[in-house]
Amino acid sequence: MKLPGDELPAELRSKIQSQVVSLLSDQFPSSFGGNIPLACHNVGKSIDLLDSIRNCSAESLICLYEPSPYDIRTFTKKSALEYFAHRKPWEDYDLILLSDSFDWGVSLSHNDRVQQLVG
């Protein structure tokens, strides 16, 4: 199945992955390296995904699909709203969605649990 979002060049993907892993490993040190996706470990505040995306100030979003090795893709805010509003039931990814500045983020688990991650 083709993942939604735009693919990144390998060198940019590697750089972003390092930044994201650094950011998230501080919050979830015992979760890295395990078989359970980080989106399932997040115990942040439960939120509405579409409202959170609408309220995010960034126009470019980074999507980290789990589990590792991570597939990292980008969305415009508009395309993220369109995709997540019309997502099919079988598109049950575990993912982390972050602003391009990493000051906003949410996790979405395969069972549709959406929680604040950053911001």
Percent of the chain with pLDDT over 70: 88
The widest CA-to-CA distance across the chain, in whole angstroms, is 34
Instruction: Judge if the upstream peptide bond of residue 67 is cis by omega within 30 degrees of 0.
Output: yes
Percent of the chain with pLDDT over 90: 29
Instruction: Judge if the upstream peptide bond of residue 69 is cis by omega within 30 degrees of 0.
Output: yes
Q: Is 5 left (phi over 0), alpha (psi -120 to 50) or beta?
A: left
**Per residue in 41-70, pLDDT tens?**
777 788 999 999 999 999 999 998 886 667
CA atoms of 118 and 106, how far apart (whole Å)? 7
**Per residue in 12-28, pLDDT tens?**
888 887 887 777 776 66
